[in-house]
């Protein structure tokens, strides 16, 4: 038993860095056009003065910064405080943005962010790994101004009638262990449809990714 636990820890140490690399640098290159298209109307949600107050949850190393409108005021949230050092480099490269704060918090607990205080919230590859997607979405609704928008991209469960869904069920426990709680079985679109947004623009996509388990995606934006 002890040997098995040691082997599991060794696998996690070896595989997790590959996962992080894939879903930051490589993933961003693959999904570049999609992000560019998705975020292009973000400025429409700026306040009357033209300034956009943006909150990104699960900001990681800041790979989304390049897509944000010039002069946006960005607050970064991540549960991992170690990302703050990685962010400094990306902040220096994205001089078109104003960075207001870095908050160490989970998506389910944004208590340091005031009610009705931001124009836009962004989450990419976050709702797949939070403990409670519904709680996170309620927090997002709370901090958004009336008429504000939530932009999202995430991998989700495949159609339940497919072989892909069968293999997602088989590998989900191992996947979650190796990727710090990420799940390939989330049907996040159902939560988005029922949590209380006034408008939902959501599309399904089979991402052009090597790993079949995470090819099913949803993307779009929802308006409070």
d(CA 213, CA 175) in angstroms, rounded, equals 9
Structure tokens belonging to residue 99: 């960075």
Residue 15: HSE in the Cβ half-sphere, 13 Å Cα cutoff: 13
**Which pLDDT value is given to residue 177?**
80
Using an 8 Å Cβ cutoff, are 122 and 64 in contact? yes
> CA 160, 218, 110 angle in degrees (round to 5)?
115
User: In the sheet where 53-57 sits, what is the strand order?
Assistant: 98-104, 73-78, 53-57, 118-124, 144-155, 216-223, 199-206
Structure tokens belonging to residue 112: 């340091």
> How would you write the pLDDT of the chain (224 residues) with one tens digit per residue?
555 444 445 544 444 445 554 566 778 888 899 999 999 999 999 998 889 999 999 988 888 999 999 999 999 998 877 776 777 888 889 999 999 988 889 999 999 999 999 999 999 999 999 999 999 999 999 999 999 999 999 999 999 999 999 999 999 998 888 777 899 999 999 999 999 999 999 999 998 888 889 999 999 999 99
Neighbours of 31 (CB within 10 A): 22
pTM for this model (two decimals) = 0.89
Structural element, H or E, at residue 117: none
């Amino acid at each position: 038993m002890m040997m098995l636990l040691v082997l599991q820890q060794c696998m996690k140490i070896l595989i997790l860095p590959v996962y992080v690399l894939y879903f930051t640098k490589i993933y961003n290159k693959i999904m570049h056009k999609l992000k560019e298209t998705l975020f292009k109307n973000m400025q429409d949600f700026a306040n009357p003065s033209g300034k956009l107050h943006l909150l990104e949850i699960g900001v990681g190393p800041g790979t989304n910064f390049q897509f944000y409108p010039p002069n946006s005021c960005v607050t970064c949230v991540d549960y991992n405080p170690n990302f703050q050092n990685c962010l400094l480099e990306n902040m220096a490269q994205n001089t078109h943005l104003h960075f207001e704060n870095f908050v160490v918090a989970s998506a389910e607990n944004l208590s340091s962010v005031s009610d009705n205080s931001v124009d836009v919230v962004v989450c990419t590859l976050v709702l797949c790994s939070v403990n409670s997607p519904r709680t996170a979405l309620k927090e997002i609704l709370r901090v958004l101004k009336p008429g504000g928008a939530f932009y999202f991209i995430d991998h989700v469960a495949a159609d339940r009638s497919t072989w892909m869904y069968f293999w997602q069920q088989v590998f989900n426990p191992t996947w979650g262990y190796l990727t710090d709680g990420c799940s390939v079985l989330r049907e996040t679109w159902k939560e988005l449809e029922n949590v209380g947004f006034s408008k939902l623009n959501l599309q399904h996509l089979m991402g052009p990714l090597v790993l079949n388990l995470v090819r099913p995606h949803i993307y779009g934006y929802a308006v409070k």
